[in-house]
Structure 1
């Protein structure tokens, strides 16, 4: 199946992976990663792009960080034990059930759960976009190696602003003016 080279907001969803209370403090540049996720998820909500989030073993790692609480109100949240969210049958079925062939992946850790989920979803035929400034690992080297590996496997590495502008597609609309004034300037 031929994929669009651009992100299509009506054909995608955001998958936020494991930005959790006990893990976040160990992530390099965690405040920046959380801020980029807040920013991107706010725009996703404004543009009616579905958001799904996962929590890895929340009884041990806690739930999604409080800083994302507002953005999580409209998200569907799944608990998981596999590092790859796509290895959890209930999650994989739900994501496939969205009938959206593009996935925008954010979260932690880039070289573990993000990597394994992205590779599984890519293998399943979804078009995977990984948001470089909205993913993180404890060590920067692990993040960079994971991004390279995902790109070599066919995933597309993007920035949060690339996602937002591809969702918007054009300027000179009320929607663009609102998003630009509220989030971009």
Structure 2
């Protein structure tokens, strides 16, 4: 039931420039996604970032894109990141657990999460790191994903489970820089 750093991947879904202004509380969603990305990278947890039709919605938001190597970006046209078969072939795509952030919660995030669960993966959706244009759509999506087997978690829950224990140099470093 715990999120393990050696068995999980951080999946960032469609956090793109042109979509961002329409997302309710987008600042919180992007800040939490950047935070998760930095923690994942520090702990050697793979990160995959999808871009929905980047020609129309633009690239990943600059604050996030600046942290990501090109090889972790997966372009897609379908709402579910699994539909085109690229996700599981990406580095980290073969892992059993997915920690999910992104937009929109009731469209691409939800369809991807439901497909991941159907494919036998364990899914953890980070509440403050997902968003939709309307808060009601986000709430409905979180409820539906939970009902179908996704765990709804906070970013700190993810970080502490990835860390597994206190008292190490890595714990002190992550705690000082990210948790305070």
CA distance in 2, matches of 1:33, 1:121: 21
Q: CA deviation at 1:89?
A: 1.4
Aligned to 1:159: 154
CA distance in 2, matches of 1:90, 1:98: 9
Aligned to 1:132: 127
Q: How many residues align?
A: 180
Aligned partner of residue 127 in structure 2, secondary structure? strand
TM-score, length-scaled by structure 1: 0.94
1:30-86 CA-partner distances (Å, limit 9, x unpaired): 011000011110000000000000000000000001111332237600110000001
Aligned partner of residue 64 in structure 1, secondary structure? coil
**Is the contact between residue 72 and residue 90 of structure 2 (CA under 8 Å) also seen in structure 1?**
no
Cα RMSD of the aligned pairs, angstroms, is: 1.3
Aligned partner of residue 125 in structure 2, secondary structure? strand
CA distance in 1, matches of 2:99, 2:70: 16
CA distance in 1, matches of 2:70, 2:178: 19
Aligned partner of residue 167 in structure 2, secondary structure? coil
CA distance in 1, matches of 2:40, 2:86: 23
CA distance in 2, matches of 1:98, 1:151: 22
- The partner residue of 1:60 within 35, 56, 59 is 56
**Is the contact between residue 50 and residue 75 of structure 1 (CA under 8 Å) also seen in structure 2?**
no
Q: Which runs of 5+ in 2 are unaligned?
A: none
TM-score, length-scaled by structure 2: 0.96
Q: Which runs of 5+ in 1 are unaligned?
A: none
- Is 1:99 aligned with 2:88? no
